[in-house]
Amino acid sequence: MIYTCTLNPAIDYHIEVDKVNIGKLNRTDHTQFLIGGKGINVSLVLKHLGVESIPIGFIGGFTGDFIKKQLREIDIHQYRFIEINGETRINVKIKDHSNETELNSLGPDISDIEWKAFTDIIKQLSSNDTLICSGSLPKGIPNAYQEIAGICQKNNVSFIMDTPGVYYDQFLSYQPILVKPNLNELSTYFNTQIKTIDEIVHYGKELIKKGAKKVLISFSAEGSLLITEDKIYQANPIKGISISSIGSGDSMVAGFIYQHLQTINDHKAYQYAVAAATATAFKKGLANQEDIEKYLILTTIKELNI
Measured CA to CA in angstroms, residue 43 lies from 12, 51, 59, 232, 246 at distances of 16, 9, 16, 28, 15
Residue among 12, 250, 266, 291 flagged as catalytic: 250
Active site residue 75: no
Please answer whether residues 148 and 167 qualify as being in contact, where contact means their C-beta atoms are separated by less than 8 angstroms. no
Cβ burial of 288 (10 Å; 0-12, 13-18, 19+) is middle
Q: Which residues contact 216 (CB under 8 A, 6 or more apart)?
A: 178, 179, 180, 224, 225, 226, 227, 252, 253, 256, 270, 273
Distances (CA, A) of 38 to 118, 132, 213, 226: 18, 10, 21, 20
Element (H, E) at 266: helix 266-281
Instruction: Give catalytic residue positions.
Output: 250
